[in-house]
Structure 1
Amino acid sequence: MSYSKRTALIFAAGLGTRLRPLTDDKPKALVTIGNKTLLEIAIGRLQKAGFDHIVINAHHFAEQIFDFVAKTHFDANIYISYEKEQLLDTGGGILYAKQLLGNKPFLAYNVDIISDLDVEKFYATHREENLATLLVSDRQTSRYLLFDKNNHLAGWKNVKTDELKTPFADFDERQYIPLAFNGIHVISPRIFSLMQCRTEPFSITDFYLSVCDKERIVAYQQPDLQVTDVGKIEQLKVISNVFI
């Protein structure tokens, strides 16, 4: 197995509960916008940015994803990381796909995020001394990542519940910049050595928060980024063709 250009992992294993009843008989990755599935849209964006080694994690109706990939011609090497026994969450999904992801920085990409991100430019900004580079934006949400003045991750805040997560003692959230995470990130492969003791499903966001006092996890903002989470029925109805 070679990794000649760029590698990406598409998160497509979720149950898609927010898209029911559309996901009662299919995975959310195969829900369509116009005449394209979310998976086709994601793979197409990645191919245009030079990604030729694409891993898809699958669980819910995984056999349909296997069939779809087998029947559809993609000008890329497509591999499926099948989480057969249980959903492993985002962090667990990354660790489980380790053998398919190689030893270069890889892009992690949520299948239900549609944006006008310049994927190639975003990937190129990542530096291997950083554990991860996160696509964020200054937009309204209920949950924010908190960054210091050097764009380094330091915490997380749920503004509805006031729940705060940080590994730092005496943390004053007023000194940090709240930004919304957009579900797209570039990750250095050394992350696997930090994850190797994990045996249960775990969130990649929680993992980042557990190591951000020792590792550099940095923010990236694209000016005037347009981004939509189409994991909800109402967003599917209003999505603009500008994103596709």
Structure 2
Amino acid sequence: MSDEQNPKKITRAFVLAAGLGKRMRPITATLPKPLVEVAGKALIDHALDRAAAGGIETAVVNVHWLADLMEGHLAHRTGAPEIVVSDERDALLETGGGVKKALDRFGDEPFVVFNSDSFWLEGPRPNLGRLIEAWDPDTTDILLLVAPTATSLGYEGAGDFYMDPDGRLSWRGEREVAPFIYAGVAILKPELFADTPEGSFSLTLLFDRAIKRNRLQGLRLDGQWLHVGTPEAIEAAEARVRESARIV
């Protein structure tokens, strides 16, 4: 099948790598969180390697905290995807503002957004490929990869979403526990940013608008999501990776 015949082909991504990583201190006092290694590889390289395997040709990576270290690391990568740095040294723009700043890199085509610290054990089929295959712009404005709250390693929160049998997502209510958490990978349409604030804002704004239009969809992660949010979580994640390797 040619690219022209394949409407599901998505070749561009934005990787969120500008955060301060406060919960990962003291490690992140001198090292950006995306450069923290888990299972012998920096978190951002896990994300970029999965992007490449999923057919992503160009990845925009935003930088802010210890930006010189980030740029130096990215400059030494070889192979796909091509890296474009979005410089946020002057101001941290949060998730939504960071993407909006680089929006001209994506034209009018949908693109993938990765949290640079998204980390999981794959199931039988790579999850990014599954997400791209499931993308349907006729029924969906945003498609999120979501993980079961109960089986996610290192996560102790109350979850983010309920999901109906058709994959439609809705927020959990206050003081409720929801069965799914956002796993840090999404497909978005660029036109969603047309009526958004200038400067700093969160992608949660777009998720909320999509829910109100019944156009926020979820795909359940096949595998196990590993929440690497604290120094202690690194050891737990690496132990789980080793255990998985023994089982295989």
TM-score computed with the length of structure 1 as normaliser? 0.81
SS of corresponding position for 2:20: coil
Query: Which residue identity does 1:121 align to in structure 2?
Result: R
Between structures 1 and 2, the one with greater helix share: 2
1:121 aligns with 2:130: yes
Tell me whether 1:70 sits opposite 2:75 in the alignment. Answer: yes
Number of residues of Structure 1 aligned to a counterpart in Structure 2: 223
For residue 157 of structure 1, what is the amino acid of its counterpart? G
1:208, 1:230 → 2: CA distance? 23
1:154 aligns with 2:170: yes
Counterpart of 2:200, as a letter, is: P
1:16 pairs with 2:15: no
Q: Distance in 2 between matches of 1:138 and 1:226?
A: 8
Structure with greater proportional strand content = 1
Change (3 A) 1:80 1:182: same
Give the distance between the partners of 1:241 and 1:191, measured in 2 at CA. 37
Q: CA 1:80–1:98 in 2, change beyond 3 Å: closer, same or farther?
A: same
After the TM superposition, list the runs of 4 or more consecutive aligned residues in structure 1 that deviate by more than 4 angstroms: none
When the two structures are superposed, what TM-score results if normalisation uses the length of structure 2?
0.80
Ranges in structure 1 where 5+ consecutive residues have no aligned partner: 163-172
Q: 1:37 to 1:26 in 2, by over 3 A?
A: same
Aligned mates of 1:11, 1:30 — CA distance in 2:
13
Equivalent residue number for residue 160 of structure 2: 144
Q: Take 1:6 and 1:122, find their aligned partners in 2: how far apart are those partners?
A: 13
Instruction: State the distance in 2 between where 1:233 and 1:157 align.
Output: 30
CA-to-aligned-CA distance 1:29-73 (integer Å, 9 cap, x gap): 111124321111111111111111111111111111111122232
Distance 1:90 1:77 in 2: 21
Is the contact made by 2:15 and 2:60 (CA closer than 8 Å) also made in structure 1?
yes
The residue identity in structure 1 corresponding to 2:67 is A
| CA–CA separation in structure 2 for the residues paired with 1:31 and 1:74 | 21
Q: How many angstroms does 1:5 deviate by?
A: 5.8
| Shift of residue 228, structure 1, vs aligned partner | 0.9
